[in-house]
């Protein structure tokens, strides 16, 4: 099915014609003229073709089982008498999915939910190609969300693994979700304006373990920064001592000094200095 424009006429002109037919028929009835019955029947038949269209609303018109077009323009219109007209909203709508439990690409159970912004762009497909397009949008949205979530890990934990993750690449995941939804919902004549993740978390049964993993990754990353800074400070201290000839250290004493400085800088607790009052050797 594909939407087409329905045949219409100005409804005000037809309404005036209907009133004229009914009025003339009423006058002729008073005079016992049989022609009045035909005028009254014609007026009633034309009255069945009157349709009022509100803004952002459309009516799909069927005539004895055949789709003959859609009335989209707001106003007061006349179309085929005895035709059936089904209303379809053209407004932008939101669909908030339920919180789904999905296994990511690593098999970890995660909880995920999304909001989908959509509107109907083809009334013929929305009415005749699918059964209840609102439910179709809901089911396909949840199916697409499950499929996209299962393709990526929840997080890469800064391990150097390249690729997208659900937590770290929310914009890219949302864009891919919107594209997949558009492919699925085009059958129903629906256009997807936007799709965004509204909830993302580990499932309760593994949330504690994954929190410890995240904390461990954060500690390792912090330690790496501390060690890199300590190495730079030690290197700068040794180079300055040698440059200014403050003291000449052999390789053994230089290694001992480097060890002491690294321990003092990297240690979690404050270092307790020990003053050497004897000979350096």
The string of DSSP letters for 154-191 reads: S--TTSS--S--TTT-HHHHHHHHHHHHHHHHGGGTEE
The closest alpha carbon to 49, from 87, 5, 9, belongs to 9
Element (H, E) at 113: strand 109-120
In Å, the largest CA–CA distance within the chain is 140
Question: To the nearest 10°, the Cα dihedral for 213, 215, 217, 220?
Answer: -130
- State residue 124's pLDDT score: 94
One pLDDT digit (tens) per residue for the chain, 281 residues: 899 999 999 999 999 999 998 888 888 777 767 778 888 899 999 999 999 999 999 999 999 989 999 999 999 999 999 999 999 999 999 999 899 988 888 888 889 999 999 999 999 999 999 989 999 999 999 999 999 999 988 877 555 555 788 888 888 999 999 999 999 999 999 999 999 999 888 877 655 555 666 666 666 666 677 777 777 777 777 777 667 776 666 667 667 777 766 666 666 666 566 655 555 55
| Model pTM above 0.75 | no
- State residue 185's pLDDT score: 94
The closest alpha carbon to 59, from 69, 70, 50, belongs to 70
């Amino acid at each position: 099915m594909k939407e087409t424009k329905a045949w219409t006429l100005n409804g005000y002109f037809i309404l005036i014609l209907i009133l004229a037919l009914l009025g003339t028929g009423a006058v002729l009835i008073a005079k016992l003229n049989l022609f009045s019955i035909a005028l009254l029947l014609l007026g009633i038949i034309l009255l069945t073709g009157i349709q009022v269209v509100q803004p952002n609303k459309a009516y799909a018109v069927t005539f004895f089982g055949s789709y003959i077009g859609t009335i989209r323009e707001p106003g007061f219109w006349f179309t085929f008498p005895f035709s059936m007209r089904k209303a379809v909203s053209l407004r932008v709508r939101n669909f908030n999915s339920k919180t789904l439990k999905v296994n990511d690409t690593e098999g970890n159970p995660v909880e995920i939910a999304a909001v989908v912004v959509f509107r109907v762009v083809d009334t013929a497909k929305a009415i005749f190609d699918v059964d209840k397009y609102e439910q179709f949008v809901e089911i396909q949205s949840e199916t697409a969300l499950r499929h996209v979530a299962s393709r990526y890990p929840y997080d890469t934990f800064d391990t150097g693994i390249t690729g997208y993750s659900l937590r770290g690449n929310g914009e890219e995941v949302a864009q891919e979700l919107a594209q997949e939804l558009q492919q699925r919902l085009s059958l129903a004549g629906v256009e997807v304006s936007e799709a965004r993740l509204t909830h993302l978390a580990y499932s309760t049964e593994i949330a504690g373990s994954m929190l410890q993993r995240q904390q461990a990754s954060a500690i390792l990353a912090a330690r790496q920064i501390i060690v890199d800074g300590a190495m730079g400070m030690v290197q700068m201290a040794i180079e300055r001592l040698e440059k200014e000839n403050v003291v000449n250290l052999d390789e053994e004493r230089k290694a001992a000094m480097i060890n002491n400085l690294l321990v003092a800088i990297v240690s979690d607790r404050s270092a307790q200095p020990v003053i050497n009052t004897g000979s350096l050797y």
